[in-house]
Structure 1
Amino acid sequence: MTYDGPRVPAQYAPGDGCAVALDLRVAVCPGLTVSVAARLRYHTADPYAVFLDNHTDLATPITWVFARDLLATGVHGWSGIGSVSIHPGVDERRDSVFITLSGEGSSVVLRAPAERVRTFLARTESLVPIGRERTHLDLDGLLRRLYEGGAASPGP
């Protein structure tokens, strides 16, 4: 039997974006970790954000949205406060990136393969270089939708 990576249901992936499947490790208790299939997604219509879809036993994934800069900084050093923080592994965990998600009185620490996260970030930069995000925003369209009383989001 061969292992082809985590089994992740297909997600909405518009043309101007990228995604990478991840096999996250979650510490349930000391000495016991479980695998969680996940996916990092990026789309040029929302150039400052990345989406982390966690696929648990639910029909639809739990999605966290946070800044791409937070992830890019967290690959190399401690980044973030509040509901999302990210930092690289140390010593024997240098091949990992740790993502802490907090909300509603609980927290979880996810361990992601650092190389997969770096690959994802490189793909996002090939679409929109860091520092050039504002050139991919349709501010006129956003203002028009707000003025007309429509949704502020750029897409479905």
Structure 2
Amino acid sequence: MTCPETPRVPSQRTPAGLCAMPLVLRAVVCPGLTVPVAARLRYDSSEPYAVYLDNHTDLHEPITWMFARDLLAAGVDAWAGLGDVSVYPGTGASPQTLFIALGGENGTVVLRAEAAAVRTFLAATERMVPSGTERLHVDLDGLLLQLLDDRPPDPGR
């Protein structure tokens, strides 16, 4: 994992305020059959409420999902989320597992992650922006300027 507080070597450092953790998820195809998916969890303190999950598939660019950091944190211990993203812990023989269900127009995929790795990632984000202080890290002036700007949005942003 690369985060400002815990760099392993200088070449792995991320810019201040950014945190990234590569991991291998397992896509649950059917009971007893999973497929590995290279992935990365990302956090940016300038968007303190969100986490990003990049899924590196056979496509040229990764498929990226953005959802609430609170959702991921809550899902470590109990079912969390309605709609497109749900996170829930494994039970029975797999309590060390965390499931992330991602749904869309073309169906739903259930990804299996190591709960300990996700907890480590969340702890790093918590050191960067403690829960409850997110509002202090949001550029409200910049958001207001964007809302009040009469120009059409830049598609490159």
Shift of 1:146: 2.0
1:129 equivalent in alignment to 2:130: yes
Segments of 5+ residues of structure 1 without an aligned counterpart are 1-12
For 1:82 and 1:28, how far apart are their aligned partners in 2? 20
Preserved contact between residue 82 and residue 102 of structure 1 (Cα < 8 Å): yes
Residue 115 of structure 1: aligned partner: 116
Shift of 1:144: 1.4
- Calculate the aligned-residue CA RMSD, in Å: 1.8
Query: Deviations along 1:28-82, whole A, 9 cap, x unmatched?
Result: 2332211000000000110000000000011110000000000000000000000
Aligned length: 142
Matching of residues 65-144 of structure 1 within 5 Å: 65-144=66-145
Pair 1:147-2:148 in alignment? yes
Task: Mark the CA change 1:46 to 1:92 in structure 2 (over 3 Å): closer, same or farther.
Answer: same
Measured after TM superposition, the shift of residue 151 of structure 1 is: 8.2
Counterpart residue number, 2:7 = none
TM-superposed CA distance for 1:149, in Å, is 3.5
Alpha-carbon distance in structure 2 between the residues aligned to 1:130 and 1:62: 27
Structure 2: runs of 5+ lacking an equivalent? 1-13
Distance in 1 between the 2:28 and 2:34 partners?
4
Q: Secondary structure at the match of 2:93?
A: helix
Distance 1:27 1:143 in 2: 42
Scaled by the length of structure 2, the TM-score of the pair is 0.85
SS at match of 1:15: coil
Given the superposition, is the C-alpha separation of residues 151 and 51 from structure 1 closer, same or farther in structure 2, using an over 3 Å criterion?
A: farther
Structure-1 residue corresponding to 2:54: 53
List structure 1 runs of 4+ shifted beyond 6 angstroms.
Answer: none
Change in CA separation of 1:32 and 1:46 when aligned onto 2, cut-off 3 Å: same
